[in-house]
Amino acid sequence: MQRWVSGHPQESGGWALAHYRQSFLADANGLLFPREWLRRQELPLLAEQPLGWFEGQPVHLFELDRPVEMPGCSWQGLRQFLMGAEQDTFRMLGYATQIGTWLRQHRFCGSCGGRMQATAGERMMHCPNCDLQHYPRLSPSMIVLITRGDEILLARSERFPPGMYSTLAGFVEPGESVEQCVHREVQEEVGLQVRDLQYVGSQGWPFPHSLMLGFHARYESGDIVPEPGEIEDARWFSPDQLPMLPPPRSISRYLIDLYLARRSGLPDPVLPD
């Protein structure tokens, strides 16, 4: 049974999350504060938005204009929960981050400059002056594991933790299909050509609002040439000599684990929600 369900709760009371730029306020009891208590605090509130239900209780988001200091509390980044939090908690926090980012980025109309207004019962920001509407943004992107015989291609960015390698990824550009994006990004990032693309699955990725479309592909030709400023290192790895890999909850790790399971004749792992 899912502990977290998104939606538009209308009940009073319940819980609230205080959020600022992919970080959450927490105390010794966790991240969820009694909503009415949090309302009584002197918070620089940008917006309040209903999120859904956690263990049957309504949850609202308090999007703050700046981080605040509160006795016994600290700020914790979303990535801290990628490794340790259970799945439903991370799904709730990831969803809250995406909604908070959307609220922050659409306070004012991009057409006339007027102040946007939230729409009751719908996830939409509306400009009363020129009728412009903005829904939460999703940015489609591809992520691909490339194989060559038994070897897999993994790369790292300088932003990664030391020693960690992952699959290649990139955002879809206007006018191209996701498959075209795979070919273009692989060519740009490592100078290779690939073939036999196989769609595997997708995952919402709240850093900050991506929809990752996962693929397996086979190497066709070319030598590895890392893209300057984007790829710090890329190389072929054998399955028995893999580097530090991405967290198990990520679709990048799932693409790797799926290939390894199929190669060994094991059941397919389950893609995390």
Q: Where are the domains of the chain?
A: 4-105, 139-264
Fold agreement (4-105, 139-264): yes
Burial of 38 (0-12, 13-18, 19+ CB in 10 A): buried
Confidence of residue 1 (pLDDT cuts 50, 70, 90): low
Q: Is 73 annotated as a binding residue?
A: no
Q: Residue 169 corresponds to which tokens in the numbers above?
A: 């990824």
- Does the pLDDT value for residue 151 go beyond 90? yes
User: What pTM did the predictor assign?
Assistant: 0.89
Q: Mean pLDDT, to the nearest integer, of 91-114?
A: 95
> Does residue 208 have a known ligand-binding role?
yes
Q: Given this model, what pLDDT does residue 134 score?
A: 95
Rounded to 5°, the CA angle 221-222-228 comes to 145
Tell me the average pLDDT of the chain: 94
Known binding residue 84? Answer is no
For 139-264, CATH number? 3.90.79.10
Element (H, E) at 200: strand 193-205
227 is known to lie in a ligand binding site: no
User: What is the mean pLDDT of the segment spanning 7-36?
Assistant: 94
Which class in CATH covers the domain with range 4-105? alpha beta
Q: Is 86's pLDDT higher than 90?
A: no
Task: Give the per-residue pLDDT at 207.
Answer: 87
Is 112 labelled a binding residue?
Answer: yes
Q: What local confidence, expressed as pLDDT, does residue 94 receive?
A: 94
Q: Is 176 annotated as a binding residue?
A: no
Residue with tokens 């933790």: 161
Secondary structure string (H, E, C) spanning 1-62: CCCEEECCCCCCCCEEEEEECCEEEEECCECCEEHHHHHCCCCCEEEEEEEEEECCEEEEEE
Side-chain half-sphere of 258: how many Cα atoms within 13 Å?
A: 23
Q: Is 189 annotated as a binding residue?
A: yes
130 is in an annotated binding site: yes
- In this predicted structure, the answer to whether residue 85 has a pLDDT above a threshold of 80 is no
State pLDDT tens for residues 33-73: 999 999 999 899 999 999 999 999 999 999 999 999 999 99
- Residues 73-80, mean pLDDT to the nearest whole number: 93
Q: How far apart are CA 254 and CA 268, in angstroms?
A: 10
Query: Looking at residue 115, what DSSP letter applies?
Result: B
Establish whether 226 is an annotated binding residue.
no
- Ligand-binding annotation for 127, yes or no, is yes
